[in-house]
Structure 1
Amino acid sequence: MAYFNIVRSLFGPGVLIMPLAISQTGLILGPILGLSYGLLLVHTHIMLLKSLTEIARQLKIPYISYRYGFRLAVLHGPPIFNGIGKCGPQIIAIFMFMSQLGICTIFVILTSDSVRDLMDWQSNNTALLALLPPFLLLEFCMKTLSIVSYIALAGTMLNLMGLVLVIYQTLSDPVKIYKYAADELMPILYACGAYLCNLSAVGVILQLDKNLVNPRIMTSKFGVIPVGMLVPTVVSMIVGVLGYWSFGTMEENILRVLPLDEVTALIILSVYVISVTFAYPIQCYPAIAVVIEVIKYHDPMVVPGAKMLHRIETFGRPLFVLLTFTICYFVPFQAPFVAFTGNLCTAMVSVVFPALMDICLKYPDEYGYMNFHLIKNLLLIALGLFNWIVGAFMCGYIIHVRILSRNSPNNPGFY
């Protein structure tokens, strides 16, 4: 089940944007860069779990959360990081919530685009209005994790069926016009954000580590993280290469370039609308859990009662859905938003913070031969911060330009 859950997470709708990432970076550089980021995320995820395990061992407790583990690890390190450590739980909570908010918004953008293409509507706004009631209903009905898991299982089966049909659709006549490597920084950072967003599964991994009877299978040589993350990474690269090979350069995910005059393409769109809708509640669950945890443990002297927490959760779920739909209304562009989310959130949660924790836990003199671990983690932090600052800025700029273009009077869809 642990293998299934992580594979289910990484084989989500994010695979559909891989052809765009490959088209931006090139037919040779793209897969190399994607596999490199996949290996990097496997390493940082294992490093994160080992850091949390070491903290729990020293405290003689069975488990510690990412939020408080980050705080204790950073406070153990050099004094210069003490300010970050004291605000550690709030920092992790903000980035985790933003990450889940971004993922859920991506789901809404994907489904609204697909519904618009199926119904041949001129605007996403009509599709958003049509999708809002079922999304709210699903969120209202799925009050327990067990119900959410069963519905998500059905969505996963549909998602895998859609992925098989997408691969079948890509095996057509190639466009025969390719680029093999990008020669500019912007498309590379654009693709790196997509890789970070789609190949990371830190939320799922933390939940698995918490609930497994033997958490060591997560980080073993052929454990859940190495196998469960690398296999989807390789498959994602194959889908990306096939999509670029078949359809060439694209602006959004591969669903937007399928020939809608064919029955197979319409079936693919329909399958993904249903599967992504079913998968949406399980992506909302961690975000609401973060909010509840922050409220519950914000002040040790004032702990909210069970009824109060239940009310907050009851009102928080529909508000979260409305928030994702609102963001989608203003930013209805899946590809740049995926890259923006990856660079802004995943780069910090999955790369920078685990590397910082490892540096602090090994402080002052456990960095190995010639300070290998210190140098390696500093390079990881530099890479993550570069993605966070430069990558997020460039992707935000692309979103800004596309919004201006959409609202231009010269746009045929301008109202």
Structure 2
Amino acid sequence: MVLEDYNPHVHREEYIAHPTNNAETFFHLIKGVLGTGVLAMPEAFKYAGMYNGIIFLLTLAVFVTYCLHILVRTQYILCKKKQTGLLYYADSMIVACEVGPGCFKNLGSILSFMTDFFMIFYQIGTCCVYWVFVGDNLKYVVDNYYKNNFSKQIYMLFLFVPHCLGMCIRNLKLLAPFSLVADVITFVTFAVVYYYIFSDLQSNFTDRPAWGSAIDFPLFFGTVLFSLQSVPVVISVENNMKTPAFFRKWYGQLNVGFGLLTIFYFFVGVFGYWRYGEDIKSAITMNFPKEEILAQVIIISYCIAIFLSYLLNAYVPIHILEERYIYPKLNEDATERKKFWIDMALRFLYVCVTCLISTTIPLLGLIISLCGVFCTTHLGIIFPPLMEICALWEDERSKPKTLLFWKSVAIIIFGIFSMVIGVYATIKAMVEQLEVEYMQITVSAATSLATTISSNGTTTI
């Protein structure tokens, strides 16, 4: 078959057992991307300032969408060159190095492994954020009724068994109804968010700082990238489409979905920061009056939506680990039953790992920022133009003499610079906040011990 005549999209269903239709893909995309990040946008605006935040949110939204177009388009080109209906992200990197400049010929396996690593690390970070979000918000509501002084880590542990049971759903198509339910809950949550924002919007817009601190700006940058640049979800839903050619149309899921997501982030970020100012929490729901029933219901409901999002986001790293690193090492006569138990064991281990990380480092806002600047800069900014250069190298369209080459190089340099600055600023803030929290825990424990000794009337420990 002539290369130009081969259409990978026509052969896609040969590789997908349960492809999703356009509507299911759209619901997966919205729910997979629209997670806890949207509720952290007001805090992100606190880092950037009002006007600065507006300008860079809209700019980054367009930039992120453009980079995703580069990625999806380049994967299509590489599929044509390989004459296959489907290439996963890491496989695309290998093929790109094979057809790219000579200096990349031996880097395919390394870059492929790095791609898998960042995909898995990002999704683990995302799921950890979900654990922390649910723990924070459950404590915020339940403590209003029971003064038990349970830490948010205890509330996270309460969710361990439900997460294990939910992870037993192994088919992405079976998750589509849950994504629809989560989307409905999410939209209702936004309605309530706007209700609380506009019910007592007393301050003037100009009361908020127009420009934030340059030191804090990387935290804004990381939060926005984490919230919008969900590369693993985008790749996963596009790979599982029944009609993937529709995905990149100007009215397709990518443009329409990210346009809608940008509107949500814009309004929640701008008006949330306008309403609460410097008192804004890492999730705006924790600014709601916890004694009101409406606030309690909507917080618990959104916790359910985030729980459902956890199941969708966990699909990607588990699929990568199984299909690329576990199943290929099994004997050819390995039974489906053996694969089933390996899959279930891996899913249980995934829940254990994300739970352990979340209870150890329960810093919601900073985990969001770190995942954003470390993983999504590689997956969504650095790697796509690098793959594009390689994919078009043989037909002269990405040689150093062309505008496309220098455009791609500029994006790569921007991504590397943003990643270095952002990771440094986020880790620095994380260390400082952990020191403060552990100091507070130490002081609280010492005070409690002193109170106990005093009440017993003895100095013996």
What is the aligned partner in structure 2 of residue 241 from structure 1? 270
What is the aligned partner in structure 2 of residue 161 from structure 1? 188
CA distance, structure 1, for counterparts of residue 219 and residue 373 of structure 2: 9
What is the aligned partner in structure 2 of residue 262 from structure 1? 292
Aligned length, in residue pairs: 413
Cα-to-partner distance string for 1:39-71 (whole Å, 9 max, x where unaligned): 111111111111111111122222222111111
Cα-to-partner distance string for 1:272-326 (whole Å, 9 max, x where unaligned): 1222122221111111111101225655986855333222211111111111111
Q: Which moved more, 1:84-93 or 1:64-73?
A: 84-93
Distance 1:301 1:352, change over 3 A: farther
What is the aligned partner in structure 1 of residue 231 from structure 2? 202
> For the Cα contact (< 8 Å) 1:25–1:188, is it kept in 2?
yes
Q: Determine helix, strand or coil for the equivalent of 2:249.
A: coil
What is the aligned partner in structure 1 of residue 14 from structure 2? none
> For the Cα contact (< 8 Å) 2:327–2:339, is it kept in 1?
no
Amino acid at match of 1:32: I
* Counterpart mapping for 1:163-202 below 5 A: 163-171=190-198, 172-176=200-204, 177-184=207-214, 186-202=215-231
Residue number among 381, 391, 406 corresponding to 1:375 in the alignment:
406
Distance 1:200 1:304, change over 3 A: farther
CA distance, structure 1, for counterparts of residue 307 and residue 274 of structure 2: 29
Structure 1 residue 130 corresponds to structure 2 residue 150: no
Amino acid at match of 2:391: L
Amino acid at match of 2:231: V
CA distance, structure 1, for counterparts of residue 334 and residue 217 of structure 2: 47
CA distance, structure 2, for counterparts of residue 86 and residue 295 of structure 1: 13
CA distance, structure 1, for counterparts of residue 336 and residue 321 of structure 2: 14
Residue number among 408, 415, 420 corresponding to 1:389 in the alignment:
420
Q: Which moved more, 1:365-374 or 1:236-245?
A: 365-374
Percent identical among aligned pairs is 21
What is the aligned partner in structure 1 of residue 29 from structure 2? 6
Q: Determine helix, strand or coil for the equivalent of 1:180.
A: coil
Q: Normalising to structure 2: TM-score of the pair? A: 0.84
CA distance, structure 1, for counterparts of residue 104 and residue 57 of structure 2: 32
CA distance, structure 1, for counterparts of residue 157 and residue 209 of structure 2: 39
CA distance, structure 2, for counterparts of residue 224 and residue 340 of structure 1: 27
Q: Determine helix, strand or coil for the equivalent of 1:248.
A: helix
> For the Cα contact (< 8 Å) 2:400–2:406, is it kept in 1?
no
CA distance, structure 1, for counterparts of residue 353 and residue 188 of structure 2: 30
Amino acid at match of 1:104: C
What is the aligned partner in structure 1 of residue 459 from structure 2? none
Q: Determine helix, strand or coil for the equivalent of 1:408.
A: helix
Q: Determine helix, strand or coil for the equivalent of 2:402.
A: helix
Cα-to-partner distance string for 1:81-110 (whole Å, 9 max, x where unaligned): 334323233221111111110111111000
Amino acid at match of 2:424: F
Amino acid at match of 1:404: E
Q: Normalising to structure 1: TM-score of the pair? A: 0.93
Cα-to-partner distance string for 1:132-172 (whole Å, 9 max, x where unaligned): 222222223x2333433323322222222112111111112
CA distance, structure 2, for counterparts of residue 218 and residue 145 of structure 1: 18
- In our comparison, the structure showing a higher alpha carbon Rg is 2
CA distance, structure 1, for counterparts of residue 442 and residue 273 of structure 2: 27
In the TM superposition, residue 118 of structure 1 has moved relative to its aligned partner by: 1.1
What is the aligned partner in structure 1 of residue 11 from structure 2? none
* Counterpart mapping for 1:37-56 below 5 A: 37-56=60-79
Q: Which moved more, 1:293-302 or 1:348-357?
A: 293-302
> For the Cα contact (< 8 Å) 1:174–1:247, is it kept in 2?
no
Residue number among 187, 211, 214 corresponding to 2:240 in the alignment:
211
Structure 1 residue 362 corresponds to structure 2 residue 392: yes
What is the aligned partner in structure 2 of residue 323 from structure 1? 353
Distance 1:155 1:214, change over 3 A: closer
CA distance, structure 1, for counterparts of residue 333 and residue 69 of structure 2: 33
What is the aligned partner in structure 1 of residue 432 from structure 2? 401
Cα-to-partner distance string for 1:178-206 (whole Å, 9 max, x where unaligned): 1111241x321101111111112322322
What is the aligned partner in structure 2 of residue 85 from structure 1? 108
* Counterpart mapping for 1:302-313 below 5 A: 305-313=335-343
Q: Which moved more, 1:105-114 or 1:55-64?
A: 55-64
* Counterpart mapping for 1:335-346 below 5 A: 335-346=365-376
In the TM superposition, residue 244 of structure 1 has moved relative to its aligned partner by: 0.3
> For the Cα contact (< 8 Å) 1:75–1:86, is it kept in 2?
no
CA distance, structure 1, for counterparts of residue 307 and residue 26 of structure 2: 23
Unmatched segments (≥5 aa) in structure 1: none
> For the Cα contact (< 8 Å) 1:367–1:373, is it kept in 2?
yes
Q: Which moved more, 1:349-358 or 1:165-174?
A: 165-174
Distance 1:68 1:227, change over 3 A: same
> For the Cα contact (< 8 Å) 2:58–2:262, is it kept in 1?
yes
> For the Cα contact (< 8 Å) 1:42–1:226, is it kept in 2?
yes
Amino acid at match of 1:355: P
> For the Cα contact (< 8 Å) 1:93–1:294, is it kept in 2?
no
Q: Which moved more, 1:328-337 or 1:119-128?
A: 119-128
Amino acid at match of 2:305: S
Distance 1:180 1:58, change over 3 A: same
Structure 1 residue 350 corresponds to structure 2 residue 380: yes
Cα-to-partner distance string for 1:202-256 (whole Å, 9 max, x where unaligned): 2232233323343222222222212211221122111100100101123412122
CA distance, structure 2, for counterparts of residue 362 and residue 147 of structure 1: 38
> For the Cα contact (< 8 Å) 1:296–1:303, is it kept in 2?
no
In the TM superposition, residue 119 of structure 1 has moved relative to its aligned partner by: 1.5
Computed over aligned residues only, the root mean square deviation of the Cα atoms, in angstroms, reads 2.3
Structure 1 residue 222 corresponds to structure 2 residue 245: no
What is the aligned partner in structure 2 of residue 288 from structure 1? 318
Unmatched segments (≥5 aa) in structure 2: 1-22, 144-148, 447-461
Where does structure 1 differ by over 6 angstroms across 4 or more consecutive aligned residues? 300-303
